[in-house]
Every structure is written in C-alpha cells, then in structure tokens.
Amino acid sequence: MTGGAMAGGRLHQAEQLFRSGRADQSEVLLRELAARPPVPARAFELLAFICGNRGDMAGCERYLSHAVALPDCSPEAHFYLGRVRLQRGGAGEAIACFERAMREAGEFFEAHHEIGVAHSALGKHALALAAFERAERLNDRVPELQLNLGSSLMAMQQAERALVHFDRALALQPQLARGWSERAMALADLDRIDDAVASVARGAALAPLDVDIAMNQVALLERAGRADGAAAALARLAAMPAPETPAFGYWLHERMSACRWAGFDALLEECCERVRRGEAAAEPFALLPTPADPDTLLACARRHARDLVATCAAGTPPVFETPAIGRRLRVGYFSSFFRAHPMALIIARMLECHDRTRIETFGFSFGPPISDPQGLRVKHAFEHFVDVGDFDDAQIVARAREAGIDIAIDLNGFTEGARSGLFVRRLAPLQVNFMGFPGSMGAEFIDYILADAVVIPGHDAAHYSEAVVRLPGSYFCNDDLHPDLTAGAQPLTRVQAGLPERGFVFACFNNTHKITPDVFAVWMRLLAAVPGSVLWLLEGHPGARPALAEAARALGVDPQRIVWAPRTEYATYVARQALADLFLDTFHYNAHTTCSDALRAGLPVLTLAGCTFASRVAASLLTALGLEERLVAHSVADYEARALAFARAPELLAAVRADLWARRESSGVFDGARFARHMEAACEAMWARHTKGLPPGPIDVQPVAG
C-alpha cells in the first residue's frame, strides 16, 4: 500500500471516529497525519471542528487557516473560518471568508446571512441590510434573519419597515424574547407607546434575566409616564446578575440618565473593577460622568480601542507620500456632527477663520444629509466638503488618502455616531482626538490629543495614550459673541419660565446623566440653607423628574422647589439663562458646551475642578476668562461654601457677573479668529515633528494674535 493510500485510510478512520462521537481517538490519528506532510486539508478541517466543539476557538482558527491554504480545501472550511473570525472580533476578515465560500460553492443562505451579521458588527447597516435581503430571497422563513432585517432598518431610522420584519420573526417564533423587545422599540419610535410597553412586557416575561430587555422595559415605562411600573421594573433590573459585556456600562449609564441611584456605589465599583481586570465591561463614554479615576478611564479606553483594532481589518499600514515643498498643510475634520448639533455650533467660526494661505481644510461628514442652517454654515466653512454618510470605511479611507490629508482630526472620538474604524485603518500620517471625546482614547492609532494646561496638567500626561498638545487659554473653541446667535429669542419673565418672581435661582442645564448623588446632596443642602431658593434643571430623561423628586424628599426638601425648563430652540435656551442667578456645575462630567452657553448669557458658572479631563472643562473656560479664583472650587466643601456665599451676598454675585460680562470680550474665549490661529499653530507644530522623523511628543502652543 502506498503512503498516500495509507494516509487516506487513516483519514477515513479518523473521520468515522469523529462522526461516531469518539473525538479524542480521532484527534490522535489526525495529529499523527498532521505531523507527516503532505497533509490533506480535511485533516486540518476535522482538527478544527474538534477544537471548536471543546471551545478552543484559537485552535479552531489556526487549523482552519492551515486548511484553506491547501488546494483540496472544502468550501465549508472557508465558511466556518469566517464564523470563527466573526466570533473572535475579525468581522472584516470574516466577510472575505464567506465570500470565498460562495465563490467555491455558489450562493447559499448561511453565507449571505453571516455577511450581514459581519457588516452589522462593523456598523455598516446599509451593507448589512443588502446582505440580509439577499439571504431572504433564498429563505424567508428564518426568524433570526427577520429579526436582523428589522434591527438593520432600526439602525437606519426606518422603524415602520423594521416593524414588518419583527412581526414576521414573531409569527415564525412567538417565543423569541428579543423580537418582542426590538419590536417595542420600533413601536416607540412610531409613537405607539402603549403598544410598545405591552410588547416589551412579552419579551421580559419570556426572558426575565435578559438585561437588555429589562433596560428597554424601564425606559419605555418611564417614557409612558408609568412611574410605579418603571420603579418595579428597575428593581427587577437591579436584582439581576450583572452582564458580562459592555451592556454593564450601558445599564449603569441608563440608570444615571434616569437618576435612579439605588446601589449606585456598588454598581460603579463592580463596573470599574471589571474594567481594571481588563474586561470589556463598559464603553468609555459610559464611565465619563462617574467618579471613576483616570487610570480606570484609560484602561476602559484601551480595551475598547484594542477591540476595535481586532474588529477592523486594517490591512497593511499605508505609506504616505511626502507633500511637495510649499504645499499647504491639508487638515481633514471627520464627524457625524456637521448638522444641528452643539459640535457644529462651537466649531463653525473657527473653520470660517482658518487662514487658507496656511491650511487647506477638508470636511468629511458621515452623519445624516445636511439641510439645516447650522449644518450648511459648517459645510460652507470648509474649502472642500465630502458627504460620506453612505460610504463604507474603506471608501472613506480611500477618499482621504486620495485627497492627501496630512492631519486627520476626529471630532467624535468614542461617542454616538463615531466611525473609529476609519482611524484604525489610518486616514493620514497624523491623527488627532479633539473636542468630541473629553478623555484619552487609549488607542495606538490616535497620535495626539488637543487640550490645555487646565484639562491636562503636565503631571497628568501619564493618563493619556496620546501625546498632549496644550493650546493657550482654553482648548474649547466657541463661536463669537455676535448677536445673531440669540436673534429671535422669545423674551421671558421669571414667572413665564415657572420661576419665583423673587428668590435665588440656582441652575444647572447639564444632561441628567451628569447629575450624581454627591452633587445632588450638595444642591439640596443649599436649597435648605437659602429660604425661597429654587433649583432650575433642564428636562431630559423622562425618568429623572420623578426620581429626583423622590431623592429631594428623602433629603428633606420639597420637590416643588425643583423647576424643570423645557427644551427649546437655541436662541431662547441661551437668552433665558439670564433669569438665573448662579449655574451650579456637576462634579464628574462638567458643563462643556453648556458652560459656554451660560457664560455667553452672562450667567456665572460655579464649578469643581476634578481629576479627569471631563471634570475640568468648565474650569478651563473660567480660567481662560480670568475668573478661576472666584468660580473654580477645589473641594466639595469649597464648592458648597462659595455657592452659599453667593446666595447670601447679592453684591458679591453682582460683581462677579459684571466682571464676567466685561471679560467675555477680551479673554479670547469667544474669539473664533484667535482660536483658529492657535489651531493652525498646533497643526504646524505637530507636522514639524513628523517631518523631522520624530514620534508624537508634547507640544505647548504659544499665544498668537487674533
């Protein structure tokens, strides 16, 4: 018998053992075969299946990689290699495997479906939808497919179409708990809130320990104004075992948004401990409003960044051409926020003021199509503007490289709408974190972070993976003080705003997830100490109002002394802040754009400078205004004492308000042209290091004339 015949016989024997459930004996024979080249691809395939069955996914991937490199490999091996890579975070590589399997075997349902799942994992929902629709043409009777079709449509804000597929999924499998929950969210988007509450209740009954479904149920009950039901659902959620994924952070963030603080300290400590152990317990943004320390925030960001790198098939690192001598520096701004959004409001003037003899600006917008006045203003401020909302990551990267971008500025960071995969793939020689995410991104693919000496003091640089560029004054850019921003504001009296005609008005217009138990306790002590005073808050999460009323009662304060300001258009929102006496900032995630808005209105902001970037932004703006000695506290006791002193001494507060009003003009905080000069100097300094062959390093930009 020849060697090949013997090998074939042993392979047949190993396969029979595998199929009869004797995997250990099969593995012994297969390992002997694998040690004597040439090895049949089927031997590697069987070894991979054995590894996969016992949970050794690394071994499974390794053997499948050997199999697909051989000419006698089966299409099945390519398909399963795709599944393994998808499971292990390599969605881009997985798609190539599924496509190869179909080139070998022809179209089949499972491959199209898994391609859709992979595109969903990459955030490419239009491509995912197309793949799921191709799968549906082959087999429309699979509940999971119908569910995924609905999820893709929801991600594309098409709730009505999504609802059709959720209903089909549930008709095929009525016990599909996730289907009832996702159907509920589609109904809520269609303003069918009572139907949504009923639907999510079905899902919760079928899967009583599913954290995601429970979170949806709490949110929908609160939106429906069913406080008792929401409280009961929240109690059930709090009793559940904590999830093992970033859902823990979402869970914590949702509770913070609703100001439901039962067990807050224990929940936060568990989340932070998981992060410190290296678990993907939370996405970085979820921890910013908490008292988490800088090392924990950096660990969270690093884990998230590593997971992104594993998910994105970045390919071979690009080689960028050296720009021609004398060519202007090409700076690309990348964002989903070039629309009616605070980001567009604060950066517009800087973009308009860029010196086009020094800087060639490019805007890459991957948000929704632009039609609003603010978005159009930003669009026209760029020298070049590209709407890439319908492009996948590879197409956007190709456009940026074709444009010869030298410095790519990420205005999203790890926030809603982010396309971090673009930066993983490397859009430009230098990549910068600016404005969108107030903290380190913990990513090797981000070279610099733009900051100032207040938000990142010199001794704090160790908490940042990026090299720190410190701008003079505040890193926070703003529009000028021109009157157009508040033109058309509806004049309000205190009574019209729901405020007492007399009495001290403490205000905080931050989002409710920034309000934590420690700062709320201080606010309630202030109300108790200042007769006739009120706390003016901005409406936010529907659960926050009843929760804070309950918290106020528990601290001995009448909830009627909390006044809620409805959300309104920007001009009125800014103008009405003049009705307040003092803005009380939150501790762990300050007022950022909200602080600028208050200062624009002439409302003094009292802040507590914390130990993280997010907790020092208001201090940065106040320091740039020259008001740090009076409005920046450095301990909780100091913060409380200053607030009380202002409330009891109207002349003291009047002097601060007058000083603020005068300093707004001269400080540079509201000077877009001056900020543009600092931004240009920062870009040129970063580029100068790069052209000298130096790695990213700390840079202190010197003040320049406006």
Q: Can you give the pLDDT at residue 485?
A: 59
**Which residues have a Cβ under 8 Å from the Cβ of 198 and sit 6 or more positions away?**
none
Instruction: Give exposure, 151-167, as e/b (b: 16+ Cβ within 10 Å).
Output: bbbbbeebbeebbebbe
Domains of the chain with bracketed CATH: 486-666 (3.40.50.2000)
Whether pLDDT at 637 is above 70: yes
Q: Can you give the pLDDT at residue 313?
A: 58
Q: Can you give the pLDDT at residue 3?
A: 46
Average pLDDT over residues 321-346: 91
- What is the tens place of the pLDDT at every residue in 549-585? 999 999 999 999 999 999 988 888 998 999 999 999 9
Contact 223, 214 (CB under 8 A): no
- Six-digit token string for 296: 């924990």
Contact 349, 671 (CB under 8 A): no
- What is the tens place of the pLDDT at every residue in 506-541? 999 999 999 999 999 999 999 999 999 999 999 988
Which of 5-19, 29-43, 65-79, 199-213 is the least confident region?
5-19
* CA-CA-CA-CA torsion sign (342, 348, 354, 360): positive
- Six-digit token string for 143: 């509940």
Which of 157-161, 252-256, 286-290, 343-347 is the least confident region?
252-256
Longest dimension (CA), the chain: 106
Q: Is 555 helix (H, G, I), strand (E, B) or coil?
A: coil
First to last CA, the chain: 89
Partners of residue 516 on adjacent β-strands: none
Q: Which residue has the higher pLDDT, 128 or 367?
A: 128
Q: How far apart are CA 640 and CA 363, in angstroms?
A: 44
Average pLDDT over residues 452-481: 96
Q: Is 506 helix (H, G, I), strand (E, B) or coil?
A: strand
Contact 581, 505 (CB under 8 A): yes
Q: What are phi and psi of 136, to 5 degrees?
A: -65, -35
Contact 82, 95 (CB under 8 A): yes
Q: Can you give the pLDDT at residue 1?
A: 40
**Which residues have a Cβ under 8 Å from the Cβ of 457 and sit 6 or more positions away?**
none
Q: How far apart are CA 160 and CA 191, in angstroms?
A: 11
- What is the tens place of the pLDDT at every residue in 242-255? 665 666 777 788 78
Q: Can you give the pLDDT at residue 222?
A: 77
Contact 440, 448 (CB under 8 A): no
Q: Average pLDDT of the chain?
A: 90
In whole angstroms, how far apart are CA 365 and each of 152, 411, 423, 436, 565? 21, 10, 14, 14, 32
Whether pLDDT at 672 is above 70: yes
| Residue 378's pLDDT band (cuts 50, 70, 90) | very high
Percent of the chain with pLDDT over 70: 95
In the sheet that 407-410 helps form, which strands lie side by side, from edge to edge? 384-387, 359-365, 329-335, 407-410, 430-433, 448-451, 467-470, 699-700
Percent of the chain with pLDDT over 90: 62
**Which residues have a Cβ under 8 Å from the Cβ of 574 and sit 6 or more positions away?**
485, 486, 489, 597, 600, 601
Whether pLDDT at 360 is above 70: yes
Q: Can you give the pLDDT at residue 4?
A: 53
Contact 631, 656 (CB under 8 A): yes
Whether pLDDT at 202 is above 70: yes
User: How many other C-beta atoms are found inside a 10 Å radius of the C-beta of residue 637?
Assistant: 10
* CA-CA-CA-CA torsion sign (481, 483, 488, 489): positive
Whether pLDDT at 130 is above 60: yes
Q: Can you give the pLDDT at residue 534?
A: 98
Q: Can you give the pLDDT at residue 692?
A: 95
Q: How many residues does the chain have?
A: 706
Contact 452, 471 (CB under 8 A): yes
Average pLDDT over residues 248-273: 84
| H or E stretch covering 329 | strand 329-335
| Residue 270's pLDDT band (cuts 50, 70, 90) | confident
Q: Can you give the pLDDT at residue 488?
A: 58
- What is the tens place of the pLDDT at every residue in 216-244? 898 888 788 887 887 788 777 766 766 65
Q: At what angle do helices 3-19 and 23-34 cross, to 10 degrees?
A: 160
Q: Which of 64-78, 408-422, 590-604 has the highest mean pLDDT?
A: 590-604
Which of 33-42, 65-74, 295-304, 373-382 is the least confident region?
33-42
Q: Can you give the pLDDT at residue 2?
A: 45
| Residue 483's pLDDT band (cuts 50, 70, 90) | low
Q: Can you give the pLDDT at residue 8?
A: 65
Pairing state between β 562-565 and 430-433: unpaired
| H or E stretch covering 385 | strand 384-387
